[in-house]
């Protein structure tokens, strides 16, 4: 799932778990799981269909969608063959609910400007706050209604 999230364009090959975990840019999103505060959800039917998870990072060590040490950054992916069925939206909504229950003030993420997932994020209340290269950092504050 990390490989699916890292290489989101459907025309590009998905890296294997070993490949993606060997790349420090991506491995940081899962290395040492579960660390204190890590939380994730897996959608399954006869095997994994998708996953969404979050963890917090530090000023010294963080990924693309970092905004602060108390705001977890989320990652999400659904297997190519099962996209557009509502699995991603359900994972995302349930992950937001969990982050609020765990007392986090917000969630953040990083999404390429060309990735249609941006519309999904906006529909559940994420707003773009910063552009870094071709990617947007988006934030959803816990104290909002949508
Ligand atoms: C993003 C992703 C997790 C969404 O999961 P999903 O199960 O396909 O999403 P859903 O079926 O719940 O669709 C929700 C919305 O996503 C949008 N969407 C997401 N990906 C899309 C795509 N490739 N093309 C068109 N719309 C897309 C649609 O607007 C859809 O809205 P709708 O429900 O009103 O039709 C999935 O497309 C994926 O794994 N993409 C590759 C990895 C990735 O980009 N991860 C995020 C990195 S920031």
Residue ranges of domains in the chain: 2-141
Mutational test site, ligand 1, from 1, 84, 146, max ligand atoms within 8 Å of CB: 84
pLDDT, tens digit (0-9, with 9 covering 90-100), for 63-118: 899 999 999 999 999 999 999 999 999 999 999 999 999 999 999 999 999 999 99
Q: Are 51 and 42 in contact (CB under 8 A)?
A: yes
Atom of ligand 1 nearest to the CA of 80: 39
Closest-CA residue, ligand 1 atom 39, reads 77
Query: How far is 122 from 134, CA to CA, in rounded Å?
Result: 17
Backbone angles phi, psi at 131, to 5 degrees: -105, 130
Residue 145: per-residue pLDDT: 62
Determine whether domain 2-141 maps to CATH 3.40.630.30: yes
CA 101 – ligand 1 centroid, Å: 25
Residue 144: per-residue pLDDT: 74
| Planar angle of CA 131, 16, 57, nearest 5 degrees | 40
Q: Which residues pair with 40 in a beta bridge?
A: 53
pTM of the model as a whole: 0.94
CA 119 – ligand 1 centroid, Å: 8
Residue keyed to tokens 């999230």:
5
Radius of gyration of the chain (CA): 14
């Amino acid at each position: 799932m990390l490989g699916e999230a890292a290489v989101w364009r459907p025309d590009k090959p998905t890296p294997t778990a070993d490949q993606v975990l060997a790349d420090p840019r991506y491995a940081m999103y899962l290395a040492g799981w579960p660390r204190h505060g890590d939380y994730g959800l897996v959608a399954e039917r006869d095997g994994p269909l998708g996953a969404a998870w979050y963890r917090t990072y530090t000023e010294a060590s963080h990924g693309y969608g970092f905004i602060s040490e108390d705001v977890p950054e989320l990652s999400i992916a659904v297997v190519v063959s099962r996209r557009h069925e509502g699995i991603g939206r359900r994972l995302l909504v349930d992950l937001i609910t969990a982050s609020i229950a765990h007392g986090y003030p917000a969630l953040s993420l990083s999404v390429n400007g060309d990735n249609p997932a941006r519309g999904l994020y906006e529909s559940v209340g994420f707003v773009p706050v910063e552009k870094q290269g071709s990617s947007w950092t988006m934030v959803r504050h816990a104290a909002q209604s949508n």
